[in-house]
Amino acid sequence: MPLSAGSPAPDFSLPDENGEIRHLSDYRGKVVVLYFYPKDDTPGCTTEACKFRDSYEDYQKAEVSIVGISPDPVKKHQKFKAKYDLPFTLLSDEDHSVCESYGVWGRKKFMGKEYDGVFRTTFIIGKDGKILHVFENVKPEGHSQEILKVLAEIDA
């Protein structure tokens, strides 16, 4: 079960696509869209990332940072980011410890097979480090616009 609105967002230390260690606390004082996704360069994850890329200017105008997290290794993130010209940070959670701390790691079913993996989930984290909104069971198509709409309501 993921964290809920009002909860403090757990801090973390993870390598980005260049191997530089990033912390959630580095973003304190900014609103962050923290999105968890299963795997680089798969249809749904590519759609989701590219929609964020296509709306990136809107996020910049709103002074909102976008950070993606998946269990993929740093090198895979680097290739994914370059291939699709993604202008935001991707973090590598290979041991899925951050996914677990956010409640987005667990048993999944796909085509009759069961496995452990990431539940596609997005958190909007406020400037104070508290969760403002949680999107569960995210559908990649239209998700970026859905987030922008909620961000506009939060600011209103």
| 4 inside domain | no
Q: Determine the structural domain holding residue 61 and report its residue range.
A: 13-155
How far is the CA of 28 from the CAs of 3, 90, 99, 115, in angstroms?
18, 18, 20, 35
CATH of the domain at 55: 3.40.30.10
Q: What is the pLDDT along the chain (156 residues), one digit of tens a residue?
A: 568 999 999 999 999 999 999 999 999 999 999 999 999 999 999 999 999 999 999 999 999 999 999 999 999 999 999 999 999 999 999 999 999 999 999 998 878 889 899 999 999 999 999 999 999 999 999 999 999 999 999 864
Can you give the pLDDT at residue 60? Answer: 95
| 112 inside domain | yes
| 6 inside domain | no
Can you give the pLDDT at residue 156? Answer: 47
Q: How far is CA 114 from the centre of its chain?
A: 23
Please tell me the total count of domains within the chain: 1
* DSSP symbol at 24: G
Q: How far is CA 156 from the centre of its chain?
A: 24
| 120 inside domain | yes
Query: Rounded to two decimals, what is the model's pTM?
Result: 0.95
| 80 inside domain | yes
Tokens encoding 41: 């360069």
Catalytic residues: 45
